[in-house]
Amino acid sequence: MKKGAVVVNTARGAVMDEQALVKALEEGQISSCGLDVYENEPSIHPGLVDNPKVMLLPHMGTWTEETQMGMELWTIGNVRSALEEGRLRSRVGEQRDLAYDA
C-alpha cells in the first residue's frame, strides 16, 4: 500500500488485522483510517480507540429503511435457496467450510 494511504472499512471486521493497522498508523505507513466494523466486535483494539488519526463509528452502515428492506429480502431468498436447492445464494468467508445437507 502506498505510504500515507487512508484505510476505510465498512465491509467486515475480519478483513482487518487491527494489530497490524495500529502498527501501520504508528509508523506512518497508514495516515488515517475510518472503521464501522471491527475485527473482534464489539471489542475494539485500544490502539485504535486512543489514536486521533482514527474515526470509529458504531456498525451503522446499513441503518437505512431501504437497506434494511433489501437485507430482509436477500435473507429470505437465501433461506429459500438453502431449503429448495440445497445451496446458499451467498456465503460470507466465515461460512466457507460449512456444509449444508438439504
What are 19's three cell numbers?
A: 494489530
Exposure on the CB side of residue 71, measured as CA atoms within 13 A: 8
Question: For residue 42, is the peptide bond before it cis, meaning its omega torsion is within 30 degrees of 0?
Answer: yes
Query: Which residues form the catalytic set?
Result: 12, 41, 59
Contact 14, 39 (CB under 8 A): yes
Residues near 87 by Cβ (< 8 Å), separated by ≥ 6? 81, 100
